[in-house]
C-alpha cells in the first residue's frame, strides 16, 4: 500500500500566550518541512517551525474551529 505523503495532520493544540492564538502540533510522512503545507488554510500563521524530520508546530490565529485530526494538504506546487 502506498503511503500518503501529501497531508499533514494536527495531533494536538494548545492555547498560546495570546487569547486569540493557538499552537498546533503537526505530524506528517515524507520528505517535507512544515512550510510545505498549506498552513494558510488555518488562517493567519504568525510563526511556524520544524521540530523533527516529520513534526512541527505553528502559532495560528484561526477564523474557524480547528482540532486534532484535521488534515492540512501540501501547498500548491509542492510535490508529494
pLDDT tens, residue by residue, 47-80? 999 999 999 999 999 988 999 999 999 998 776 6
Confidence of residue 25 (pLDDT cuts 50, 70, 90): very high
Please give the Cα distance from 3 to 44 (Å, whole number). 29
Res. 2: pLDDT tops 50 = no
Q: Where are the domains positioned within the chain?
A: 7-67
Note the pTM of the prediction, 2 decimals: 0.85
Q: Which three cell numbers stand for residue 29?
A: 510522512
List Cβ neighbours of 69 (8 Å cut-off, separation of 6 or more).
Answer: 9, 10
Residues 6+ apart with CB under 8 A from 47: 58, 59
C-alpha 25 chain-centroid distance: 7
Instruction: In whole angstroms, give the CA distance from residue 9 to residue 71.
Output: 5
Amino acid at each position: 500500500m502506498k503511503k500518503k505523503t501529501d497531508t499533514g495532520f494536527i495531533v494536538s493544540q494548545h492555547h498560546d500566550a495570546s487569547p486569540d492564538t493557538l499552537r498546533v502540533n503537526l505530524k506528517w510522512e515524507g520528505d517535507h518541512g512544515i512550510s510545505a503545507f498549506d498552513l494558510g488554510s488555518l488562517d493567519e500563521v504568525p510563526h511556524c517551525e520544524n521540530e523533527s524530520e516529520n513534526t512541527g508546530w505553528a502559532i495560528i490565529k484561526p477564523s474557524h474551529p480547528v482540532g486534532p485530526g484535521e488534515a492540512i494538504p501540501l501547498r500548491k506546487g509542492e510535490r508529494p
